[in-house]
Chain A
Amino acid sequence: MQTPPKDQPGKKPGIIRVEGMHKWYGDFHVLKDLNLTVDQGERIVICGPSGSGKSTFIRCINRLEEHQQGKIIVDGIELTDDVRHIDTVRREVGMVFQHFNLFPHLTVLENCCLSPIWVRKTPRKEAEASAMEYLERVKIPDQANKFPGQLSGGQQQRVAIARALCMKPKIMLFDEPTSALDPEMIKEVLDVMIELAGSGMTMLCVTHEMGFAKTVADRVIFMDGGEIVEQAPPHEFFTNPQEARTQKFLQQILAH
Chain B
Amino acid sequence: MTESTMKAPKKALRPVKWMRENLFSGWFNTVLTLGVAYLLVTSVGPLLNWFFLDANFVGSDPSACTGVGACWLFISQRLNFFIYGFYPDELQWRVDVMFLLLAVSFVPQFIERFPGRKWLGLFGIFGLPIVGYFLIPGGSFGLEEVQSSKWGGLMLTLILAYIGIIASLPIGILLALGRRSEMPIIRGICVVFIEVWRAVPLITVLFMASVMLPLFLPEGVNFEKLARALIGITLWQSAYMAEVIRGGLQAIPRGQYEAADALGLGYWRKMGLVILPQALKMVIPGIVNTFISLFKDTTLVLIIGLFDILGTVQSTVTDPAWQNVAIEGYVFVAFCFWVFCFGISRYSQNLERKLDTGHKT
Q: Nearest residue in A to B278 (C-beta to C-beta)?
A: A105
Task: Say yes or no: A87 contacts B264, CB within 8 Å.
Answer: yes
Chain A residue total in the interface (Cβ 8 A):
28
Give the CA-CA distance A104 to B255 in the complex, in Å: 12
* Chain A 110-146 near chain B by CB (<8 Å), digits 1 or 0: 0000110011000000000000000000000000000
Task: Say yes or no: A62 contacts B255, CB within 8 Å.
Answer: no
* Chain B 253-278 near chain A by CB (<8 Å), digits 1 or 0: 10110111111111001000110011
Q: How far is the CB of A162 from chain B (nearest CB, A)?
A: 12
CB neighbours (8 Å) of A94 from chain B are 262
Q: How far is the CB of B184 from chain A (nearest CB, A)?
A: 15
B358 partner, pick from A83, A99, A150, beta carbons under 8 A: A150
The yes or no answer to B360 lying at the interface (CB within 8 A) is yes
A118 partner, pick from B258, B259, B273, beta carbons under 8 A: B273
CB neighbours (8 Å) of A48 from chain B are none
CB neighbours (8 Å) of A147 from chain B are 357-359
* Chain B 226-265 near chain A by CB (<8 Å), digits 1 or 0: 0000000000000000000000000001011011111111
Give the CA-CA distance A105 to B259 in the complex, in Å: 14
Give the CA-CA distance A91 to B277 in the complex, in Å: 23
B interface list, Cβ under 8 A from A? 253, 255-256, 258-266, 269, 273-274, 277-278, 281, 355, 357-361
The yes or no answer to A238 lying at the interface (CB within 8 A) is no
Task: Say yes or no: B258 contacts A90, CB within 8 Å.
Answer: no
Task: Say yes or no: B265 contacts A115, CB within 8 Å.
Answer: yes
CB neighbours (8 Å) of B264 from chain A are 87-88, 90-91, 115, 119, 167
* Chain A 136-175 near chain B by CB (<8 Å), digits 1 or 0: 0000000000011110000000000001100100000000
Q: How far is the CB of B265 from chain A (nearest CB, A)?
A: 6
Give the interface centre of B259, B261, B265, B273 by most chain A CB atoms within 10 Å: B259
Q: Nearest residue in A to B256 (C-beta to C-beta)?
A: A101
Task: Say yes or no: B358 contacts A97, CB within 8 Å.
Answer: no
CB neighbours (8 Å) of A90 from chain B are 261-264
Task: Say yes or no: B262 contacts A114, CB within 8 Å.
Answer: no
Other than the given A62-B262, A101-B255, A114-B263, 4 more pairs (CB < 8 A) read: A93-B262, A94-B262, A97-B262, A147-B357
Give the CA-CA distance A97 to B264 in the complex, in Å: 15
Q: Nearest residue in A to B259 (C-beta to C-beta)?
A: A101
CB neighbours (8 Å) of A119 from chain B are 263-266, 269
The yes or no answer to A194 lying at the interface (CB within 8 A) is no
Task: Say yes or no: A103 contacts B256, CB within 8 Å.
Answer: yes
Q: How far is the CB of B275 from chain A (nearest CB, A)?
A: 9
B360 partner, pick from A64, A83, A99, A149, beta carbons under 8 A: A149
Give the interface centre of A88, A118, A150 by most chain B CB atoms within 10 Å: A118
CB within 8 Å for A104 and B258 given contacts A90-B264, A114-B273, A115-B264: no
